[in-house]
Amino acid sequence: MGPVGDVFKALADPTRRIILDELTDGDGQTLFEICGRLTTRHGITSSRQATSQHLAVLESAGLVETRREGRYKFHHINTTPLLQISERWLTSTEGGST
């Protein structure tokens, strides 16, 4: 599918968009923290396994990066793929019309 397609696929799911919203609000969360926020703030009662799969899709698309500390895995948002997509269409071309 390619990097841009992976980003669009990752963003197509509403739960994954909410996970990114939560990481924007509080970067560096564990799976347990993300699951808690999904339940308490959004009423989403996904299992830890389902949330972990969502995070794996986001990580594969480059939208989430992880860092391990001991037995904990912290998830961080990475907006670089979003910037690359916006630059693709927002960059004006020389001599072209809009």
Average pLDDT over residues 9-21: 97
Are the C-beta atoms of 62 and 77 separated by less than 8 Å? no
Average pLDDT over residues 10-14: 96
The rounded distance, in Å, linking the Cα atoms of 93 and 23 is 34
Q: HSE on the CB side for 32, CA within 13 Å?
A: 3
Q: What's phi and psi for 67, nearest 5 deg?
A: -140, 130
More confident residue, 66 or 93: 66
pLDDT per position as a tens digit, 20-69: 999 999 999 999 999 999 999 999 999 999 999 999 999 999 999 999 99
The rounded distance, in Å, linking the Cα atoms of 98 and 93 is 9
More confident residue, 44 or 93: 44
More confident residue, 22 or 91: 22
Report the sign of the C-alpha dihedral through residues 53, 16, 47, 55, in that order. Answer: positive
Domains of the chain in sequence order: 3-90 (1.10.10.10)
